[in-house]
Amino acid sequence: MVEGFLHHFNFGDFMFICPICKSKLNIEGKAYICENNHSFDIAKQGYVNLLPANKKHSDNPGDSKDMVLSRRAFLEGNYYHCFADKLVEIIDSIFANNQKISIADCGCGEGYYNGILERLKIGYELFGFDISKEAIRFAAGKYKKNKYAVGSCFNMPLVDESFDLALNIFAPMVEAEMSRILKKGGYMIYAVPGKRHLMGLKELLYESTYENDEKHTEYDGFQFVDRISVQKEITVDGEMGVNLFKMTPYYFKTELGAEEKIIKNNGFTTEIHFDFLIYRKK
């Protein structure tokens, strides 16, 4: 599929940058501090908030605590195990010749896929961020070996050209920022919904439905490597169906009553369909 490559990476390096002056942050005591003495306290769960107030579009952007809990309950129910298994397989294939790699999880949510990566055959250090403080609090509280920050995909709180792999799993794609943080020759894995992803949920909620677009997008500075699809059918009960619904963009777009419809229907059966788009930085 793809060929691995070797980068030297020093475990213990800190890859977060100051959101004010963009210089590298280092840990001093219970805070991250840059060379210009901008200081950011480390929360008790171990994460740091690097999202300035003037960069927020609301007081508490991103997923709420209720949405994060729903996401964790659904994902830990193992319904997406085929997706998780394939992600590990792809990364192990790409980096088969490596001993250690640096990973940036851009829009990591509550960290479920970070836990999955513990199955990797190679060593790694992971830096994850998400715009949702609630999601990062849960991720940092559970996956202690990783480093986490509250931050935005549009202004990633990460050091330039420092990562072997950047993950984007259903998060906003900002190609310039992806290119900035990756080393030359580094890989980007972009996970997107396939054509019939969650069609059963859509058929339950809406009178008319549509298949998702399946596009092949070129990104400046990247070479397209491969598209790998994963498809399966799952059945969920009413409670778990509501959890899944709360993970999707439909939660923000659907009229009131959707959750009651899922419960009344005692859940649903649906296709799940994911595409992994793999790119390499030129």
What would the mean pLDDT of 253-279 be, rounded to a whole number?
Answer: 94
pLDDT higher than 50, residue 7: no
Report the distance separating Cα 74 and Cα 247, nearest Å: 9
Taking a C-beta distance cutoff of 8 angstroms, is the pair 73, 247 a contact? no
pLDDT higher than 60, residue 1: no
pLDDT of residue 227: 96
pLDDT of residue 9: 41
What pLDDT digit, counting tens, does each position of 187-246 carry?
999 999 999 999 999 999 999 998 998 877 899 999 999 999 999 999 999 999 999 999
Taking a C-beta distance cutoff of 8 angstroms, is the pair 122, 100 a contact? yes
Amino acid at 110: E
End-to-end CA distance of the chain: 18
Report which of 97, 131, 104 is spatially closest to residue 19, judged by C-alpha positions: 131
pLDDT grade, residue 14 (50/70/90)? Answer: confident
Strand, helix or coil at 200?
A: helix
pLDDT of residue 13: 61
Taking a C-beta distance cutoff of 8 angstroms, is the pair 46, 144 a contact? yes
pTM for the whole thing? 0.92
Report which of 166, 172, 199 is spatially closest to residue 280, judged by C-alpha positions: 166
Q: What integer best gives the mean pLDDT of the chain?
A: 92
Distance of CA 255 to the CA centre of its chain: 27
